[in-house]
């Protein structure tokens, strides 16, 4: 935990920074109805105010983050490099550096990125391309052959997907109808008092169609590729 002296020193550093937003950050600003949002690969601020102090703070975060990823890149610490970026950007960063990774690191990192991601559908084509790689070793990470729940799955099974109209087609399914309902109806968009637009799709698949299975997030998740 930072001491009061360290906090004060940080405040002094912030106050010394330029008051305009760094040019590298400006191009990642998007207009909103009430607030702008900053969605840079290294810095995220959903309520960008544009004030001097806020700019100073964000500039400092960016400079520190840039120095950190440059260090990780130079040291070939590619996992640290990827996970130093903001969550929505990580799979895109992975895609750009995949040739630097051996098969073990490729599948291991990709699986961790999958577990860490909440909006797979936003980069659906990118995920599909990466998961369809002909690299060896994917089963070691995406299917635990010794998992008792996976072993107990029948040759034919029903899977479910909770979604809205815009993300009906996806890679992530579940054997739990209850969990699919949770995904379909638990999220509300801004201004909604109740989610009435959720949907649950279901289909019958062969066990052999399963690309991946994980219950690490208690979701009984089935990954299906198109």
pLDDT in tens, the chain (226 residues): 556 776 666 666 655 555 799 999 999 999 887 789 999 999 999 999 988 889 999 999 999 999 999 999 999 999 999 999 999 999 999 999 999 999 999 999 999 999 999 889 889 999 999 999 999 998 888 987 677 888 899 999 999 999 887 788 899 999 999 999 888 887 655 445 555 678 899 999 999 999 999 988 888 999 999 9
Strands in 84-215 per DSSP E: 156-163, 172-174, 199-206, 212-214
Model confidence over 166-189: pLDDT tens digits?
788 899 999 999 999 888 887 655
Backbone torsions φ then ψ of 65, nearest 5 degrees: -65, -40
Do residues 42 and 84 lie in contact, with contact meaning Cβ atoms separated by under 8 Å? yes
Model confidence over 88-97: pLDDT tens digits?
999 999 999 9
Euclidean distance between CA atoms 132 and 141, whole angstroms = 14
The structural domains of the chain, with segments of one domain joined by +, span 4-131, 143-188+196-223
pTM given for the model: 0.83
Residues 6+ apart with CB under 8 A from 51: none
Tell whether the torsion through CA atoms of 80, 85, 91 and 97 is positive or negative.
negative
Helix (H) or strand (E) holding 47: strand 44-48
């Amino acid at each position: 935990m930072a001491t009061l002296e360290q906090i004060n020193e940080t405040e002094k550093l912030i106050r010394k920074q330029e008051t305009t937003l760094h040019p590298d950050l400006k191009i990642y600003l998007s207009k909103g109805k009430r607030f702008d949002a900053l969605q840079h690969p290294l810095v995220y601020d959903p309520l960008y105010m544009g004030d001097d102090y806020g700019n100073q703070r964000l500039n400092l975060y960016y400079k520190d983050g840039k120095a950190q990823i440059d260090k990780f890149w130079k040291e070939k610490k590619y996992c640290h490099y990827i996970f130093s970026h903001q969550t929505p950007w990580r799979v895109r960063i992975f895609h750009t550096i995949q040739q630097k990774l051996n098969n073990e690191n490729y599948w291991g990192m990709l699986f961790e990125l999958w577990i860490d991601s909440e909006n797979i559908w936003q980069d659906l084509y990118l995920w599909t391309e990466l998961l369809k790689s002909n690299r060896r070793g994917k089963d070691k990470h995406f299917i635990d052959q010794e998992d008792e729940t996976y072993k107990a799955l029948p040759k034919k099974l029903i899977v479910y997907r909770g979604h809205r109209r815009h993300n009906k087609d996806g890679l992530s399914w579940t054997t739990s109808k209850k969990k699919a309902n949770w995904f379909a109806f638990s999220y509300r968009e801004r201004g909604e008092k109740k989610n009435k637009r959720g949907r649950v799709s279901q289909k019958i698949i062969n066990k052999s169609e399963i690309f991946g299975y994980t219950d690490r997030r208690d979701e009984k998740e089935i990954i299906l590729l198109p």
